[in-house]
Every structure is written in structure tokens, then in C-alpha cells.
């Protein structure tokens, strides 16, 4: 094949988003590289963990599983997300925005086998790798859709959809989709919640973005709770109705704790760090004012 033909095939492979890298991984720990239309995705294995990373070998870990004990939740933010279940009744309809390795929907499926779970993930290659490398599988009640989260939310609104629990997990330390962190987007998300529904978001606490993010959630939901994690992540919790008191929340966690036993963390100890977010003194982010990526790199 001539050089022009080789270049053409390479370009077509990139556009499909489905080609595996033919280049030997830069590290012995990187077992797979995949170039999608949106990003370079790496799968690494080290000390019994398999992880998904975006962009580069030393980038932040998006998802990890314990190869010998896949049920164990490895990353703090995955553990923190489970505490969402203490804020609401057992959810019948769940929406997860951002798939990663599919750890969260897999866990929720195990906990609530009768629930309906929808997942919106922008990158089809992420969905493919979640299935082939992390054991994520769709079934009659759990579907993954290759779609932008905001587009999916708008479509769900038009269909009259409602979700008892919405988990927003589409951010990472290198990039935040700015259209998913605005007052207008959160108002759209709120319209998908029933009166007793909850939205939880995996975000970050150690930068100048944090107060703007809090102001945005507060402008839509009023009071919000947060769980600051050792990794620098924080989980924000927002509901349609008033948030439960700390004492009530801890009682709910105590009831759930036996169900969380196989996931490798102390739910009561972690829940003890949940606190109200102080009222923000900055203006909320909007579709016209959303410098999220600039703010998150400022301390």
C-alpha cells in the first residue's frame, strides 16, 4: 500500500473512534491504548488494579477496579456517590451522566436489580472499553447511550422523563464541559427530578471554581450538602425538598451500611464528613458566564 493509502486508512480509523493503538504502550503498566474521536484512552494495570485514564499515562484515574475483587469500590468518589442513597427512598429510575468504566451503574444495578438505569456517555469508545475491560453490561433495565449529557437531558425533558436519582460524573481534573456546569443546565436537570429526587455531582474542592460551582447549585436548589474527600474530589448533594438533618442522614446510613459491606469502605465514617455548603458570595455560572476551566486551575 502506498503512503497516501496508509494515511487515508489512519484518518478513517480516527474518525470512527474505534481503532486500537498499534504503537507499543509507553509503560509496561499500560496494557491498552485507544484513540477515539474525543480523546486518547489508556487502560493500565498495576498492583492488582485496572484503571481507565484519559489523555496521558500519568493523568488522573477515571475509573479503577480491583481485578481480584471487582465489587470493591477503589476510588473515593465512587464510595461517596453511594451515600446519595441515604438522602432518598430506594430509587426506581436512575440517570448517570458520564460512564467511565461503568463502576457506578454496575454497583447500582447490584444494589437495586429492579431499577431502571440510563447512562449518557459522550464517547462511544468509553462505552466499548467499559464493557470489554471493566465488566459493564447493558440489560433490559440498564442502557448506555452515546450522547452528550445536556442533549440527553433535553430529550428526556421532552419525553416527560423523571429520575429519582441523577448522578453527574462527567468532569475530570483536566477538563470540565462548561455547558454542564451552568445555572441553565442545572435547571434542566432539576426538571427531571420528582418532588423527592436527588442530584449528586462529583466535582473538586481545592480551586477557585468551588465557590462558583456552589453558587450555581444554590441558585437552583437552595441549600446543598457536600462531602469533601481525601482525593480532592467533593460530592455535592442537592434535592427538590429540604435536605435531611445530619442526625436523620446518619440514621439512614446506618440502615444502608450492611448493604455496603462488600464495597470496601466505612459508610458511617465517610458520611460523618457530610456538611452544609456555606452560602456562596460569588455569582453563579451561566451559559453566558462559565469560565470553569480557567477557575479550576487557580488555587
* Cβ partners under 8 Å of residue 288, min gap 6: none
Q: Which CATH number fits domain 76-295: 1.10.238.10, 3.40.630.190, 3.30.360.10, 3.40.50.150?
A: 3.40.50.150
**Which pLDDT score, from 0 to 100, does residue 295 have?**
80
Average pLDDT of the chain, as a whole number: 89
**Which pLDDT score, from 0 to 100, does residue 73 have?**
98
| Confidence label for 61 from pLDDT (cuts 50, 70 and 90) | confident
**Kind and range of the H or E run holding 106:** helix 103-111
Q: What is the rounded average pLDDT of the residues 86-90? A: 96
Q: Is the pLDDT of residue 51 over 80?
A: yes
| Confidence label for 2 from pLDDT (cuts 50, 70 and 90) | very low
The residue assigned the cell 453566558 is 288
Q: What is the pLDDT of residues 259-276, one digit of tens each?
A: 999 999 999 999 999 999
Q: What is the pLDDT of residues 276-297, one digit of tens each?
A: 999 999 999 999 998 888 887 7
18 to 10, 15, 41, 169, 216: CA distances (angstroms):
11, 8, 11, 23, 36
The better pLDDT of the pair 290, 213 is held by 213
247 to 198, 242, 272, 280: CA distances (angstroms):
18, 14, 10, 24
Question: Residue ranges of the domains in the chain?
Answer: 10-66, 76-295
Residue environment code for 221-252, b if the CB has 16+ CB neighbours within 10 A, otherwise e: beebbbbbbebebbbbbbbeeebbeeeebbeb
Percent of the residues in the chain that have a pLDDT greater than 90, as a whole number: 76
Catalytic residues: 169
The residue assigned the cell 486500537 is 20
Question: CB atoms < 10 A from the CB of 266, how many?
Answer: 11
Q: What is the rounded average pLDDT of the residues 56-69? A: 86
Q: What is the DSSP letter of 199?
A: E
Q: What is the pLDDT of residues 215-272, one digit of tens each?
A: 999 999 999 999 999 888 899 999 999 999 999 999 999 999 999 999 999 999 999 9
- φ/ψ of residue 84, rounded to 5: -55, -30
Instruction: Give the span between the Cα atoms of 91 and 273, in whole angstroms.
Output: 23
Distance of CA 289 to the CA centre of its chain: 23
Q: Which of 90-104, 173-187, 189-203, 239-253 is least confident?
A: 173-187
**Which pLDDT score, from 0 to 100, does residue 55 have?**
81
Q: Which long-range contacts (CB under 8 A, 24 or more apart) does 54-62 make?
A: 54/172, 54/174, 55/174, 57/26, 57/27, 57/29, 57/30, 59/174, 60/172, 60/173, 60/174, 62/100, 62/101, 62/172
Amino acid at each position: 500500500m502506498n503512503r497516501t493509502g496508509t494515511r487515508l486508512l489512519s484518518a478513517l480509523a480516527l474518525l470512527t473512534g474505534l481503532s486500537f493503538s498499534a504503537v507499543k504502550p509507553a509503560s509496561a503498566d499500560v496494557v491498552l491504548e485507544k484513540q477515539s474521536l474525543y480523546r486518547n484512552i489508556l487502560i493500565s494495570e498495576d498492583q492488582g488494579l485496572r484503571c481507565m485514564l484519559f489523555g496521558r499515562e500519568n493523568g488522573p484515574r477515571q475509573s479503577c477496579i480491583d481485578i481480584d475483587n471487582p465489587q470493591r469500590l477503589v476510588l473515593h468518589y465512587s464510595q461517596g456517590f453511594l451515600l446519595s442513597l441515604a438522602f432518598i427512598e430506594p430509587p426506581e429510575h436512575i440517570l448517570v451522566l458520564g460512564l467511565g468504566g461503568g463502576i457506578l451503574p454496575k454497583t447500582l444495578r447490584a444494589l437495586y436489580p429492579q431499577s431502571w438505569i440510563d447512562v449518557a456517555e459522550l464517547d462511544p469508545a468509553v462505552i466499548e472499553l467499559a464493557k470489554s475491560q471493566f465488566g459493564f453490561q447493558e440489560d433490559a433495565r440498564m442502557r448506555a447511550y452515546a450522547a452528550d449529557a445536556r442533549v440527553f437531558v433535553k430529550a428526556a425533558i421532552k419525553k416527560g422523563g423523571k429520575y429519582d436519582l441523577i448522578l453527574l460524573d462527567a468532569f475530570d481534573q483536566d477538563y470540565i464541559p462548561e455547558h454542564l456546569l451552568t445555572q441553565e443546565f442545572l435547571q434542566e436537570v432539576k426538571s427531571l427530578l420528582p418532588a423527592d429526587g436527588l442530584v449528586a455531582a462529583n466535582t473538586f474542592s481545592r480551586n477557585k471554581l468551588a465557590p462558583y460551582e456552589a453558587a450555581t447549585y444554590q441558585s437552583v436548589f437552595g441549600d446543598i450538602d457536600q462531602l469533601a474527600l481525601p482525593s480532592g474530589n467533593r460530592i455535592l448533594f442537592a434535592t427538590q425538598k429540604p435536605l435531611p438533618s445530619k442526625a436523620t442522614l446518619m440514621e439512614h446510613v446506618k440502615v444502608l451500611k450492611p448493604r455496603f459491606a462488600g464495597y470496601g469502605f466505612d459508610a458511617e465514617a465517610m458520611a460523618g464528613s457530610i456538611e452544609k455548603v456555606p452560602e456562596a458570595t460569588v455569582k453563579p455560572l451561566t451559559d453566558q458566564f462559565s469560565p470553569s476551566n480557567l477557575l479550576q486551575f487557580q488555587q
